[in-house]
Structure 1
């Protein structure tokens, strides 16, 4: 029951985040959204910062798990695996941007509140991509880490583009084909 209740607290915190943002949300808002007392919320989180850290961690972990599954799909060509990792990052960014202007705070890698979490998420994605490019091999003159950085830059560039999900496929295909070379397709 405790895990279910924590999930309810985090869901309520996310709902409040979409409405009010991190700064304006109070523990009373979270409790009210759940229909419980503030003291009931404190049984599961220390304060609103703890609640938002857990919300952000949960969202990033789900995206990272999706990226890990894509990277591990050995029966899928490398280009599709790379594209799956990139799609996990792009989908997280687009979901958060689409839910509310406030939820973009959860992706602020430079911000004090979520910067460390975002940096770890980016490093984990980069590690998955470096692993894929190391296995597949890259064209001469491009190291696997450079190929990973180029791919992540593509996703960051698409995050503010209309129809980004549709564009990711062809953009990633072309980019990865160039990074892997003809023999790896």
Structure 2
């Protein structure tokens, strides 16, 4: 039922998706849908939460380092590959979480913001490790800028996922998309964490 609902919401949008069509696609009766989920809002929320949890789980699995041997850039690379692989494999889920949920009301937007915050927190932790490994001495600076960098990176990853999932003859692979983002951001972040900072001309 949730599979059919995610596809319906992704294809037609929250407002246009029909509970009748979702029930038919799921092979169940409409009363049965309402037996488990009391309203269209409840169904949409359940879809957002399921797809959000799956995305976060994929990224967490990608960044795992059980032995504590991987450097921060490798863990970030693995996490980005996992993120882009998941969004490519589940385009309807990504559309529900990233596109539909954010525009269809405050309660849905909060659900989308929660998953973004969770991933940003994970990335902040990785960049914090990189800052410590680089010997960043200014803890206050590191904490403030690392958090900002993490949010910027997550926003860039979201935008790239939309780009990578756009219809085209030869979509980029998850590794290609992850490499694009690493090449864009890591060299600059690495220099910053080592104390080499860009400043505007006077």
TM-score tier by shorter-chain length is: 0.7 to 0.9
For residue 174 of structure 1, what is the aligned residue in structure 2?
Answer: 187
Aligned counterparts, 1:74-89, within 5 A: 74-88=68-82
Q: Deviations over 1:126-176 (max 9, x none)?
A: 222232333341635542352232133134235155667141232243244
Q: Are the counterparts in 1 of residues 59 and 80 from structure 2 also a CA contact under 8 Å?
A: yes
Partner Cα separation in structure 2 for residue 91 and residue 71 of structure 1: 13
Give the aligned CA root-mean-square deviation in angstroms: 3.3
> What secondary structure is seen at the aligned counterpart in 1 of 2:52?
helix
Q: Are the counterparts in 2 of residues 109 and 118 from structure 1 also a CA contact under 8 Å?
A: no
For residue 146 of structure 1, what is the aligned residue in structure 2?
Answer: 145
Is the deviation greater in 78-87 or in 99-108? 99-108
Aligned counterparts, 1:16-35, within 5 A: 16-35=8-27
Q: Are the counterparts in 2 of residues 85 and 125 from structure 1 also a CA contact under 8 Å?
A: no
Deviation at 1:11, TM superposition (A): 0.2
For residue 199 of structure 2, what is the aligned residue in structure 1?
Answer: none
Q: Are the counterparts in 2 of residues 64 and 121 from structure 1 also a CA contact under 8 Å?
A: yes
How many residue pairs end up in the alignment?
A: 173
Q: Are the counterparts in 1 of residues 59 and 82 from structure 2 also a CA contact under 8 Å?
A: yes
Q: Are the counterparts in 2 of residues 126 and 149 from structure 1 also a CA contact under 8 Å?
A: no
Partner Cα separation in structure 1 for residue 19 and residue 117 of structure 2: 32
> What secondary structure is seen at the aligned counterpart in 1 of 2:49?
helix
Deviation at 1:43, TM superposition (A): 2.7
> What secondary structure is seen at the aligned counterpart in 1 of 2:106?
coil
Q: Are the counterparts in 2 of residues 27 and 47 from structure 1 also a CA contact under 8 Å?
A: no
> What secondary structure is seen at the aligned counterpart in 2 of 1:40?
helix
Cα distance change on mapping 1:149 and 1:122 into 2, 3 Å: farther
- Equivalent of residue 102 in structure 2, options 108, 117, 127: 108
Shift >4 Å, 4+ stretches:
86-96, 98-102, 160-164
Partner Cα separation in structure 2 for residue 179 and residue 81 of structure 1: 19
Deviation at 1:80, TM superposition (A): 1.7
For residue 32 of structure 2, what is the aligned residue in structure 1?
Answer: 40
Q: Are the counterparts in 2 of residues 31 and 41 from structure 1 also a CA contact under 8 Å?
A: yes
Deviation at 1:37, TM superposition (A): 0.9
Q: Are the counterparts in 2 of residues 134 and 144 from structure 1 also a CA contact under 8 Å?
A: yes
